[in-house]
Amino acid sequence: MNQIERISKMGALLKSAEAACDELDGAIERLAEALAQYDKEQENFDILTEYYEGDEWMRDFEDDEAGLIPQSIDRGALTEDSIYDLLLRRKDLDEILQALRSYL
């Protein structure tokens, strides 16, 4: 490879590496924002866990099944699968974050 070819090739490699760094910078910024939002929600996760694992959720669920809870309110928290799935997702995400921490 002659000098001109080498300089051209290195210029192309530089541009490619800069683009990869730019993309990674953006991804890291988005990840940092998502992690900050996730951290803000930790108290909500704890409240939902306590509610779901305690007696109140079962009482509310049974009252809803008996038609005692108005249909006009958001009863999403009374669907067993929604809270259970969310708590499983939290567990999975926490495992991924732990693996990421060990990687870094």
Same domain assignment for residues 11 and 28:
yes
What range defines the domain where residue 47 resides?
41-104
Q: What are phi and psi of 75, to 5 degrees?
A: -110, 25
In a shared domain, residues 90 and 55: yes
**What is the C-alpha separation between 39 and 44, in angstroms, rounded?**
10
Confidence of residue 103 (pLDDT cuts 50, 70, 90): confident
pTM here is 0.67
- 65 & 104 share domain: yes
Question: Are residues 46 and 26 located together in one domain of the fold?
Answer: no
Number of domains in the chain: 2
The pLDDT tens digits of the residues spanning 60-91 come to 999 999 999 999 999 989 988 888 899 899 99
- If asked whether residues 24 and 45 sit together in one domain, one would say no
Do 50 and 91 belong to one domain?
Answer: yes
> Domain check: are 96 and 51 in the same one?
yes
